[in-house]
Structure 1
Amino acid sequence: MWWILAAIAAVLGYWLLTRPHKYWIKKGVKQGNPAFIFGESWAQTMQKQSFPEMVEMVYNMCPNTRYSGFYQFFLPTLVLKDPDLIKQITVKDFDHFVDHQPFIPEDSDPLWSNNLFALNGKRWREMRATLSPAFTSSKMKYMFSLISQSGEQFVNYFLKQNEDLITVEMKDVIANTAFGVECDSLVDRKNEFFLMGKEATDFSNFWKNLKFILYFLAPKLSDLFKVRFFSEEVNKFFTSLVKINIESREKHGIVRPDMIHLLLEARRNGLKHEESHSIQDTGFATVEEHEFTKNAKKIERVMTDQDIASQALIFFFAGFDTVSSLMSLMSYELAVNPDVQNKLVQEVDETLETCGGKITYEGLLGMKYMDMVVSESLRKWPNTVTTDRISTKPYTIEPKYPDEKPLHLEKNSSIWIPIFAIHRDPKYYPEPERFDPERFNDENKVNIKPYTYLPFGIGPRNCIGSRFALLETKILFFYILSHFRIVPVQKTPIPLVLCKKQFNLNARDGFWLGLQRRNKI
């Protein structure tokens, strides 16, 4: 008798575990063949597929559709493929899709849950409206001197080595610019700031990945056990660091043109959008602040040190990982595409001469080819592999083609915009694997289909720091190419293979490249 009960229990269990994977079929939406329990996340969870490869697979598994369904474990997720539909949901009907999918319980990790990316609803609107004036072109010009100083520091470290060819792993930090912390992580690879930053952004850690899996499999269990995004050590370190920094500035009247200063200004007096039409923007990839948040109500209460620490950490987090990944990938492309690098070096030299030997903000932003190279780097290797939204209220996607019917989405439905895959769709970018900055010259960039180039996201919830990331990237490469050429070395992986152990863009064997001292005539 017991074996009959066991068989019934097994059949019932199997039915309960496979039932969630019928969600899209019942709604008449095409889907792939989800694996038992894991859905489309099986290969990526088992580290047999990188996250960007998983995004491409999901995008391509139901061709000739405006959207299709897949499963993150048991979570049904709708993939948007059609540029017009992406615009409809992320811009025109943004009020239905304001929030990101939460993946850490809100009250378990204050440092994470209070940052701009994690905030939802009214709290996000107020914080975005409060912070967005800190990222205008005029504020970037204000911070230019400090960013430039960091670029000089980076290059001077290698110039002092007095070698013709230096082999280097091209991923580093932005500590001096974002946090106002005087430390040189190139010289001291064991300083606490660098080590805490590495831990905070390391997604190859088994236990950190297990947290994400636990949330998708058992969100209520995650809530019960108060799963944290950052470790207790990282939380304490960065919170204390920012608070001590703030206390020191206020006590001694210290002013530095950095992000902490702008956050403090937002707390004291509030910041206003002060755009000057005479200031060039930071490049083609720059995303504009939407009227939705420009005109939104700002935070009425006084920003706490915890608020500032949370925002500072997410800016650091983005810079430490995503911007350093962009710089590393752009370095790789320049190394394996010497014709592109030669043309960029020529523009660097011409700009330096025009500026009288010292780069200026206007001189840097006037570099057309530099912007083309950065834009193509972000096309081929977008910082954000995919972005998501959840529906904050019921929504219907109306049919556009004869084989479609109205798709009714319930509240809290999960949506994906697969940026990495869209950027590599040959329908929009012929020969997508080829690195070709000419896609973004004056003649060609006007032909790029709207909503198919999304390196910093889209709509009111786009990346607030696009100007900062672009400015930082350009100044670093200006200084590097003023003195060095970036070349492949024996340890350089050609072709580059993406790491399968992390969610973010990283090379499996590291970004090993050579800095070859230029022989200037």
Structure 2
Amino acid sequence: MIPLIVACVVIVCCLYSFSTRGYDYWQKKGVQHEKPLPFIGSAGRIFAQKMSMTEYFTELYRKYPKEKLVGYYFSREKAVVLRDPELVKCVLITDFQYFYRRGINYHKDVVEPMFKNLFFADGDLWKLLRQRMTPAFTSGKLKAMFPLIVERTERLQRTAAAAAERGAEVDVRDLMARYTTDFIGACGFGIDANSIDDEDAPFRKLGKRIFTPSLRDIIVTVAKWLAPDLFKCLRTVAPEVEQDTLSLVRSIMEQRNYQPSGRNDFIDLLLELKQKGKIVGESIEHRNSDGTSKIAELELDNLLMAAQVFVFFAAGFETSSSATSYTLHQLALHPDQQAKCQLEIDGVLTRYGGKLCYEA
């Protein structure tokens, strides 16, 4: 019995030592910081999903008004919130070559397939993708996509008007999510998602699944934060979401024979970029012995294109639906502002013949 107790004590002590190793970093540096807890660091409320990361950073920013920077621990990772504009300038501009990692990925070197996109990517992958894709989003490209958005907007108007005539209650958050899913489907994939008319449309279900974490998703996410090296091969994106995205992108590209179709959607844009061949540019991760940047190359293959489509869809529909539904909520609470907004919209549309267009 005694050996068992001793073994348990040793294991607990080892786990405690492992989980708190490095937690004296900010104290040694003389930096004001949030006190950490074993394994989870200072971000316990984020792990418990009682607070978003944005709320946490805002709280830290306001809690230490006299500090230029505030330290904290996200799990076992050391991190800071910068409060001084000059430090922000150094990180984003002057010394960017040392701070290009944004800390979004769980592991520094192993990145899961769907995270190899502009939002999650770091280092050379981010730089080369940005180098090739940013010029592609010209005003002309966006203007060409606008009719697709207008068509879905007219469907939304009909659905909302029908609900008003019936005197029915409408879940605006869900309605706007279906609307943005529809126009992202059109602009991104070149397909008619039909989410506005069909609440159970497959495309809408995919969007819901991405932002509705299952128990498996939560366990994997926490595990990767707590021990990124140990669980680096686990994938945060659910297998069915990844497979559905890959299958969808593959089928659309096969329909187009891997050639731009003239639809001017996001898939066309990616196919045009792929036709240009390898992306070549100066590395921000690797340098020659003389201090000059090495040359980095990137092949825009199907998996990499699927990752761009994944974030285009996920980030596009969720952010837009959240912003628009919240705006509608506020307008409903403030009828005077609603009337003012309606008057301005009517005035603009009058100048363009009552038609919603890119210029309006």
Q: Which bracket does the TM-score occupy, shorter chain normalised? A: 0.7 to 0.9
Question: How much does 1:116 deviate?
Answer: 2.1
Q: Give the corresponding residue for 1:493.
A: none
Question: How much does 1:56 deviate?
Answer: 2.8
- Distance, in Å, in 1 between the alignment partners of 2:205 and 2:352 is 38
Equivalent of residue 344 in structure 1, options 316, 328, 341: 341
SS at match of 1:68: strand
Q: Which moved more, 1:61-70 or 1:344-353?
A: 61-70
Q: Give the corresponding residue for 1:256.
A: 263
Relative to structure 1, the CA distance from residue 321 to residue 354 in structure 2 (aligned partners, 3 Å threshold; closer, same or farther) is: same
2:188 paired with 1:190: no
Relative to structure 1, the CA distance from residue 137 to residue 244 in structure 2 (aligned partners, 3 Å threshold; closer, same or farther) is: same
Question: How much does 1:269 deviate?
Answer: 4.2
Relative to structure 1, the CA distance from residue 74 to residue 352 in structure 2 (aligned partners, 3 Å threshold; closer, same or farther) is: same
SS at match of 1:40: coil
- Distance, in Å, in 2 between the alignment partners of 1:341 and 1:170 is 18
Question: How much does 1:228 deviate?
Answer: 0.7
Once the two structures are superposed, the pairs formed by residues 439-518 of structure 1 within 5 Å of their partners are: none
Percent pairwise identity: 30
Q: Which fold has the larger relative contact order, with Cα–Cα distance below 8 Å and residues 6 or more apart in sequence?
A: 1
> Aligned letter for 1:131?
M
What do residues 445-494 of structure 1 show as CA deviations (whole Å, max 9, x unaligned)? xxxxxxxxxxxxxxxxxxxxxxxxxxxxxxxxxxxxxxxxxxxxxxxxxx
Q: Give the corresponding residue for 1:167.
A: 170
> Aligned letter for 2:240?
E
Q: Give the corresponding residue for 2:78.
A: 76
2:358 paired with 1:356: no
Say if 1:20 and 1:74, in contact at 8 Å, map to a contact too: yes
2:160 paired with 1:158: yes
Q: Which moved more, 1:82-91 or 1:97-106?
A: 97-106
Say if 2:260 and 2:272, in contact at 8 Å, map to a contact too: no
Q: Give the corresponding residue for 1:179.
A: 189
Equivalent of residue 320 in structure 1, options 313, 317, 323: 317
> Aligned letter for 2:198?
D
Q: Give the corresponding residue for 1:206.
A: 215
Once the two structures are superposed, the pairs formed by residues 75-474 of structure 1 within 5 Å of their partners are: 75-101=77-103, 102-103=105-106, 109-110=112-113, 112-161=114-163, 162-164=165-167, 166-171=169-174, 172=177, 173=181, 174-203=184-213, 205-223=214-232, 226-250=233-257, 254-269=261-276, 303-363=300-360
What do residues 384-435 of structure 1 show as CA deviations (whole Å, max 9, x unaligned)? xxxxxxxxxxxxxxxxxxxxxxxxxxxxxxxxxxxxxxxxxxxxxxxxxxxx
Q: TM-score, normalised by structure 2?
A: 0.82
Structure 2: state its 5+ residue gaps. Answer: 278-283, 285-292
What do residues 45-86 of structure 1 show as CA deviations (whole Å, max 9, x unaligned)? 234434443333333333311111011122111111223321
- Distance, in Å, in 2 between the alignment partners of 1:7 and 1:343 is 68
> Cα RMSD (Å) of the superposition?
2.9
Question: How much does 1:167 deviate?
Answer: 2.0
- Distance, in Å, in 1 between the alignment partners of 2:240 and 2:15 is 40
Q: Give the corresponding residue for 1:65.
A: 67
What do residues 120-149 of structure 1 show as CA deviations (whole Å, max 9, x unaligned)? 222221111111122232321221111222
Q: Which moved more, 1:154-163 or 1:346-355?
A: 154-163
- Distance, in Å, in 2 between the alignment partners of 1:143 and 1:298 is 35
Q: TM-score, normalised by structure 1?
A: 0.58
Say if 1:134 and 1:263, in contact at 8 Å, map to a contact too: no
Q: Which moved more, 1:78-87 or 1:11-20?
A: 11-20
> Aligned letter for 1:347?
E
Q: Give the corresponding residue for 2:56.
A: 54
Say if 1:108 and 1:227, in contact at 8 Å, map to a contact too: no
Relative to structure 1, the CA distance from residue 235 to residue 37 in structure 2 (aligned partners, 3 Å threshold; closer, same or farther) is: closer
- Distance, in Å, in 2 between the alignment partners of 1:57 and 1:308 is 37
SS at match of 2:231: helix
> Aligned letter for 1:338?
P
